[in-house]
């Protein structure tokens, strides 16, 4: 995962040490030495995340957070505060001001990097919603902001019944949400739309060490709880357990015995993030269904794809990154229609669309571009990664035939044209040029035998 991180610390040695650690994980870094400088650089550079020292010479980290949140240009940037003072009151103030976490010095490198990966993943989901709203605005259909947060369900899975009761009592004193207690077996029987929780607070160690992490993996694999936020409670000092939990899919981690007010702040933040993610998924499934969705495959259509691709290109250009654009065309599709009929051709298109969707990320753009042609755009990617993704998509279509209602199996293959770049400012002519390169590469793939990926020579 790449990302631009702003390091804020008045001690140059601390900035250098953090820069080296982050560079080894392939993050781009920028620096500031004071709170005021951080606010200015954040507005100018729009980093993906801010790593902020609490004690600065002019204003402290909590005030920097508050001012970032008041500024529409920076309110969405996540902030992780670093502090040498293990002050609970300060930690609560920072979390209340909007920091996503407070890390004590000295910190575990593994846990810090896991935390950064976790925060950046969550932020990417938020930015995707923002990009979709910008695209919807092109049609006058921007989603209205939600004015209230409905009561949520928080489930507790603790190592013992007594601990579960303690956790529930402490959270109930701070939250107005519904709190329920469950054991691991009950947690695996939750049904979607019938009491499935918004947040699960689970102990890392239940009846056995690590059992809570195994339960989390199971919950992530089940439809009812796949999108629930999960907070793992681990024993004090077990940084490795916390890092593993985050990389396995935990939404947050917290030490056992933490102040109940901190736990409540973290759970409230998870609820907000979960509801935001729900909005994102709803916008994919329901938004603009008639205006910008292909009625056969359920994918976005060309009318949606072009302005959204322009938004992706503009972002790539502003951040000095690249996007990959693919045009995918079904080989000899006319023969399918001529041999089996148009209903069979429609069934093939629906199945191919489903396979493509299942093998792309939520942030990727997938659209039916016309006829048997599909468009895929991957943000923030490299040529090597884009080529692997294109080969994966080609393979999942070729790997097994499409079974028709009649019982007939139809073998289908794809030709793919790939181009990579960053259209300057997302201008229409630059986006068109990027698409033209992908189209020429697609024609070359067809001419060279079909069922292959061809990369635009300009991108190679």
Tell me which residues are annotated as active site: 372
Collapsing DSSP to helix, strand or coil, 85 comes out as coil
Kind of pairing, strands 323-330 and 414-421?
A: antiparallel
Q: Of 122, 152, 166, 161, nearest to 256 (Cα)?
A: 166
Count Cβ atoms within 10 A of the Cβ of residue 185 and give its class: 0-12 exposed, 13-18 middle, 19 or more buried.
exposed
**What percentage of the chain's residues is helix, strand, coil (to nearest 5)?**
50, 20, 35
How far is residue 212's CA from residue 67's CA, in Å, rounded to a whole number? 38
Q: Of 20, 8, 233, nearest to 109 (Cα)?
A: 20
- Which tokens sit at 4? 């631009």
* 248 neighbors 212 (Cβ within 8 angstroms): no
* 218 neighbors 188 (Cβ within 8 angstroms): yes
Collapsing DSSP to helix, strand or coil, 127 comes out as helix
> How far is C-alpha 138 from the geometric centre of its chain's CA atoms?
23
* 167 neighbors 158 (Cβ within 8 angstroms): yes
CA angle 408, 410, 413 (to 5 degrees): 170
């Amino acid at each position: 995962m790449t990302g631009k991180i702003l390091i804020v610390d008045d001690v140059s040695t601390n900035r250098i040490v953090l820069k080296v650690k982050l560079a080894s994980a392939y993050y781009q870094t920028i620096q500031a030495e004071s709170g005021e400088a951080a606010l200015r650089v954040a507005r100018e550079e729009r980093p993906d995340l801010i790593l902020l020292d609490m004690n600065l010479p002019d204003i402290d980290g909590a005030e920097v957070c508050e001012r970032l949140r008041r500024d529409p240009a920076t309110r969405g940037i996540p902030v992780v505060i670093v502090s040498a003072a293990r002050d609970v009151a300060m930690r609560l103030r920072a979390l209340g001001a909007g920091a996503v976490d407070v890390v004590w010095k000295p910190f575990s490198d593994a846990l810090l990097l896991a935390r950064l990966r976790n925060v950046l993943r969550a932020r990417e989901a938020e930015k995707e919603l923002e990009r979709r709203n910008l695209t919807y605005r092109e049609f006058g259909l921007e989603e209205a902001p939600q004015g209230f947060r409905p009561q949520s369900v928080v489930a507790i899975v603790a190592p013992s019944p007594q601990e579960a009761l303690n956790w529930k009592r402490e959270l109930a004193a701070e939250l107005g949400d519904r709190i329920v207690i469950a054991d691991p077996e009950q947690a695996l029987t939750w049904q979607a739309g019938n009491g499935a929780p918004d947040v699960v607070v689970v102990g890392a160690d239940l009846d056995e060490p690590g059992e809570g992490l195994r339960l989390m993996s199971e919950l992530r694999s089940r439809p009812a709880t796949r999108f629930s936020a999960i907070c793992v409670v681990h024993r004090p000092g077990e940084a490795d357990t916390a890092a593993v939990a985050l990389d396995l899919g935990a939404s947050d981690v917290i030490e056992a015995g933490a102040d109940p007010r901190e736990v409540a702040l973290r759970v409230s933040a998870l609820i907000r993030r979960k509801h935001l993610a729900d909005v994102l998924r709803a916008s994919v499934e329901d938004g603009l269904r008639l205006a910008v969705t292909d009625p056969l495959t359920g994918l976005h259509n060309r009318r949606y794809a072009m302005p959204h691709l322009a938004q992706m290109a503009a972002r790539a250009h502003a951040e000095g990154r690249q996007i990959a654009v693919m045009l995918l065309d079904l080989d000899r599709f006319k023969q399918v229609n001529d041999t089996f009929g148009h209903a069979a051709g429609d069934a093939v298109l629906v199945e191919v669309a489903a396979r493509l969707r299942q093998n792309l990320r939520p942030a990727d753009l997938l659209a039916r571009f016309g006829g048997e042609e599909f468009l895929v755009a991957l943000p923030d990617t490299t040529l090597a990664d884009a080529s692997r993704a294109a080969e994966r998509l080609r393979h999942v279509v070729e790997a097994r035939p499409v079974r028709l209602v009649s019982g007939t199996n139809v073998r289908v293959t794809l030709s793919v044209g790939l181009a990579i770049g960053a259209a300057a400012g997302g201008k229409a002519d630059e986006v068109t040029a990027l698409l033209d390169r992908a189209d020429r590469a697609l024609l070359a793939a067809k001419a060279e035998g079909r069922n292959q990926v061809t990369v635009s020579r300009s991108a190679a």
